[in-house]
């Protein structure tokens, strides 16, 4: 299914971009390895693992609605992570 493949790519790209933004921000401010940055990265990785596990679930009654919920969760989590990232800077 192309939609599942696209959803997995979106999850990877969005959360990967957030992690990359943390590294760039810390590098430009000479704050490498800050606790706040590390917490954001850890949350992004945890979110990635959770969302991918949900995508790979096979025993859901309505697959289309399930994938739609996952996409909404990705958007919500990414927004929260970006807000935390903005306070870091």
- The pLDDT assigned to 32 comes to 77
Per-residue DSSP letter, 62: -
- Give the model confidence (pLDDT) of 10-20 as tens digits: 999 999 999 99
Residue 7 — pLDDT band, cuts 50, 70, 90?
A: very high
- The pLDDT assigned to 2 comes to 57
pTM of the model: 0.90
3-state secondary structure of 34: coil
- Give the model confidence (pLDDT) of 41-88 as tens digits: 999 999 999 999 999 998 999 999 999 999 999 999 999 999 999 988
Instruction: Sort residue 30 into left (φ over 0), alpha (ψ -120 to 50) or beta.
Output: left
Residue 48 · residue 40 · CB < 8 Å: no
């Amino acid at each position: 299914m192309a939609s599942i493949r696209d959803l997995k790519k979106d999850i990877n790209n969005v959360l990967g971009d957030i992690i990359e933004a943390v590294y760039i921000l810390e590098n430009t401010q000479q704050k490498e390895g800050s606790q706040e940055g590390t917490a954001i990265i850890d949350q992004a990785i945890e979110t990635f693992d959770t969302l991918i596990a949900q995508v790979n679930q096979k025993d859901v009654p309505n697959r289309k609605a399930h994938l739609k919920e996952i996409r909404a969760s990705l958007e919500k989590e990414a927004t929260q992570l970006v807000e935390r990232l903005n306070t870091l800077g």
